[in-house]
Amino acid sequence: GAVVSQHPSRVICKSGTSVKIECRSLDFQATTMFWYRQFPKQSLMLMATSNEGSKATYEQGVEKDKFLINHASLTLSTLTVTSAHPEDSSFYICSAIKGGDNEQFFGPGTRLTVL
Amino acid sequence: SQKIEQNSEALNIQEGKTATLTCNYTNYSPAYLQWYRQDPGRGPVFLLLIRENEKEKRKERLKVTFDTTLKQSLFHITASQPADSATYLCALGEDQAGTALIFGKGTTLSVSS
């Protein structure tokens, strides 16, 4: 199989705090992981591409100092939303590529609510 | 800029009928196109992948067509069931390793019994 997990599944925090979201590939190694954000009734929007052992590549308009990404190992990438504000409230989804065929497997998502 | 459109935000059909969802794209030449199912509050689940040199792909009650001339993919669910109710996303991809998918907004399908 190819299972991707995310933790936590849901988080509520106060404005100004930082939140870390973990994305793990449970039964395979992923050299590349992606972080997406999805607002209600909207498409998944790519935020950044995370490569193990190197700096993440951010999409235009995504602040790298606000959304810190660390791909520490072949099975773990983390997204930290620093100094979160209500407008950061969204559904954050990661995906991981397995093997060389570019097939992506998605995590279950993390619902972030900033009060 | 690249644009991908799923023609209906919502589609309501009766159980047993065939649901047909459309995905159109512009300013892009994808190597393949994928269809995903997404339930509320969940991540997308992969359904089917069709490559640019393939015209049709089937998997159980699902059928996907890909017309690179029209820049369009059709996604069919035959003998639809209430359990098929979900949002269906199409996504375009390239063969280059490590490239992300480009997603449409999705079509929410409701199958009534």
What CA–CA distance (Å, rounded) separates B74 from A29?
Answer: 33
Give, for B58, the enclosing helix (H) or strand (E): strand B56-59
**Closest Cα in chain A to B89:** A43
> What's the whole-number average pLDDT of chain B?
92
Contacts of B39 in chain A (CB under 8 A): none
Alpha-carbon torsion (B94, B104, B54, B111), positive or negative:
positive
pLDDT of residue A84: 96
pLDDT of residue A54: 84
Which band of pLDDT confidence, cut at 50, 70 and 90, is reported for residue A2?
confident
pLDDT reported for residue A78: 96
Residue B81's pLDDT is what?
97
Q: How far is CA B52 from the centre of its chain?
A: 14
Identify residue A74 by its one-letter amino acid code: L
Angle CA A69–A75–A79, to nearest 5: 20
Span A35-52, average pLDDT? 91
The predicted-structure confidence for B79-94, as pLDDT tens digits, reads as follows 999 999 999 999 998 8
What's the pLDDT tens digit per position in B47-76?
999 999 999 999 999 999 999 999 999 999
pLDDT recorded at residue B78: 98
- pLDDT above 90: residue B100: no
Mind listing the pLDDT tens digit for each residue in A10-20? 999 999 999 99
B52 has a chain A CB within 8 A of its CB: no
Determine whether the interchain pair B93/A102 forms a contact, defined as Cβ–Cβ distance below 8 Å: yes
User: Would the CB atoms of A41 and B105 count as touching at under 8 Å?
Assistant: yes
Interface-testing mutation among A26, A33, A102, with chain B (most B C-beta atoms within 10 A): A102
Asked if the model's pLDDT at residue A37 lies above 70, the reply is: yes
Q: Which residues of A touch B101 (CB under 8 A)?
A: 44, 46, 95, 104
pLDDT digits (tens, 9 = 90+) for A49-100: 998 888 899 999 999 999 999 988 889 999 999 999 999 999 999 999 876 6
CB contact, 8 Å: B24 with chain A? no
